[in-house]
Amino acid sequence: MNNKYLMIYNEIVAQIKNGEIAPGTLLPSENELKDQYDTSRETIRKALNLLAQNGYIQKVRGKGSIVIDISKFDFPISGLVSFKELAEKMGGKSKTIVNELSLIIKPDSYLRHQLQLNSKDQVWKVVRTREIGGNKIILDKDFLAAKFVPQLTEEICENSIYEYLENELNLKISFAKKEIIVEEPTAEDRSLLDLEGFHNIVVIKNYVYLEDASLFQYTESRHRPDKFRFVDFARRNH
Amino acid sequence: MNNKYLMIYNEIVAQIKNGEIAPGTLLPSENELKDQYDTSRETIRKALNLLAQNGYIQKVRGKGSIVIDISKFDFPISGLVSFKELAEKMGGKSKTIVNELSLIIKPDSYLRHQLQLNSKDQVWKVVRTREIGGNKIILDKDFLAAKFVPQLTEEICENSIYEYLENELNLKISFAKKEIIVEEPTAEDRSLLDLEGFHNIVVIKNYVYLEDASLFQYTESRHRPDKFRFVDFARRNH
DNA sequence: AAGTGGTCTAGACCACAAA
DNA sequence: TTGTGGTCTAGACCACTTC
């Protein structure tokens, strides 16, 4: 990484995380940092703005940059979290079961709307159950525009579709829009998940876009409510 | 507003929203915009970065800035949403009932931990029921560090505490950390809300910070699941 | 008055995409 | 090769906080 402001950002993040810089204290001023890192002030400011965006510091004009106490929170705040990352966090053994893998030749109007497709575009449908600690607690329903994904196998789905897309197909995912709602479980939820008497399902609708801003994937991730948790960080713009 | 990059940002947002700039098309290049607005390229870049952060455009190196189709989403994406704003969005008549207003002289350890207080700090406790369209669907439990808020009346709580803090006390809220989980309803939920047989409650835990990064409010907003909706926009950092 | 972060500039060089 | 966005610089002036 030959990126100066990212290197500075990462160094300061590391210092905050390992306690070298205490929460509540001030960072060195931008002019001091500029000298320390032998760079320009704008470059320092880029690094500090990243820190502020990600909730590590709070910048105050006339005062300085205050280090925020992050100890109470599990980072990363927000962002695209894949099942693999989630499973690692929760600990316990995880497993993926592929319930369905099909190529829809004629998508219905709901799907065409969600993926903004022509009637001739085909769509991959993948239904997977996620098991953590012996319980099936997540049902993932993925719909991928086939024009971007020529091939898809059960093996790929058992591992990570994301890794396949990014590493093999070189598709770059750039951003996603999420919507979180709570629903009654469907018959499909009941049959594929270990609901254990829970009466609701947390549904995360995920619209995933590629680098050129084309929408290529729509995912519904259906979670048993007791295992669901979402963290968000929001800065207020005055 | 004598802020050049914000003016440029707002102008472009307006153009995107009213359809002057069509989704999927490219913005003028940074150099063209620099000339159009008679400014420097870095200032244009600041405006464009804001647009990208807020989900209006996608920047692609070598190509340009693509306008994203926002028509399918209700903005604003994420952020601090107060009850007043929420009620306006959902339409229907809204009402606030103040169930409890008290000054806790000796906060218990849970509260001290959540608000990072000394044992001598006092805390305001406010419990309010929110009614929309004739149904009590939200239970808000607010805890405010009293060192920042000397006075609090039932009248203030019936309107907006936020407005009181920002306009009267001149406290500036700068950012918040949210955690969303799903719980079983408590006895309190059952007695104060119209649960109508729902078996779960969506709990939004909100940690609110002031401009100087001091934590001053902890809020639990408990929503009936059928009326809950959360929207998020996440950019992936490659 | 001195020090802080916020904005703005004009110019340079680089990485990448398209023709 | 040309044009795009990404990074970096050195310097200027401003708004705000603190002493």
Does A92 lie in the same domain as A61? no
Which residues from chain A sit within 8 angstroms of residue B209, using beta carbons? Answer: 58, 68
In a domain, A41, yes or no: yes
- Determine the structural domain holding residue B37 and report its residue range: 4-67
In a domain, A77, yes or no: no
Does B140 lie in the same domain as B62? no
Of B67, B175, B202, the CB nearest to A234: B175
Does A198 lie in the same domain as A119? yes
Per-residue pLDDT tens digits for B74-130: 444 444 456 666 666 666 678 899 999 999 998 888 888 777 787 788 999 999 999
Over pLDDT 90: what percentage of chain A? 44
User: If pLDDT is split at 50, 70 and 90, which confidence band does B236 have?
Assistant: low
In a domain, B171, yes or no: yes
Q: Which residues of A3-23 are buried (b: 16+ CB within 10 A; e: fewer)?
A: ebbeebbeebbeebeeeebeb
Does A31 lie in the same domain as A108? no
In a domain, B42, yes or no: yes
Return the biggest CA–CA distance within chain B.
64
Does residue A237 or residue A185 have the better pLDDT? A185
Q: Tell if the CB–CB gap between B68 and A209 is shorter than 8 Å.
A: yes
pLDDT at A151: 87
CA pair distance B195, B201, nearest whole angstrom: 9
In a domain, A75, yes or no: no
Token reading at A67: 């280090």
| Chain B, window 204-223: residues with a beta carbon less than 8 angstroms from a chain A beta carbon | 207, 209, 211-213, 215
Per-residue pLDDT tens digits for B188-197: 999 999 998 8
pLDDT at B78: 46
Does B88 lie in the same domain as B45? no
In a domain, A74, yes or no: no
Of B72, B228, B232, the CB nearest to A78: B232
CA pair distance B186, B179, nearest whole angstrom: 18
Domain count, chain B: 2
Confirm whether pTM is higher than 0.85.
Answer: no
CATH number at residue A182: 3.40.1410.10
Does A98 lie in the same domain as A32? no
Token reading at B122: 């006092």
In a domain, B72, yes or no: no
CATH number at residue A63: 1.10.10.10
Does A97 lie in the same domain as A27? no
A63 Cβ within 7 A of any nucleic strand D atom: yes
Does B95 lie in the same domain as B27? no
CA pair distance B238, B235, nearest whole angstrom: 9
CA pair distance A238, B7, nearest whole angstrom: 14
Cβ-contact B175, B209 below 8 angstroms: yes
Does A105 lie in the same domain as A49? no
Does A121 lie in the same domain as A32? no
Q: H or E stretch including A115?
A: helix A109-115
Does A134 lie in the same domain as A202? yes
In a domain, B77, yes or no: no
Does B213 lie in the same domain as B104? yes
Per-residue pLDDT tens digits for A9-40: 999 999 999 889 998 899 999 999 999 999 99
DSSP-derived 3-state class of residue B59? strand
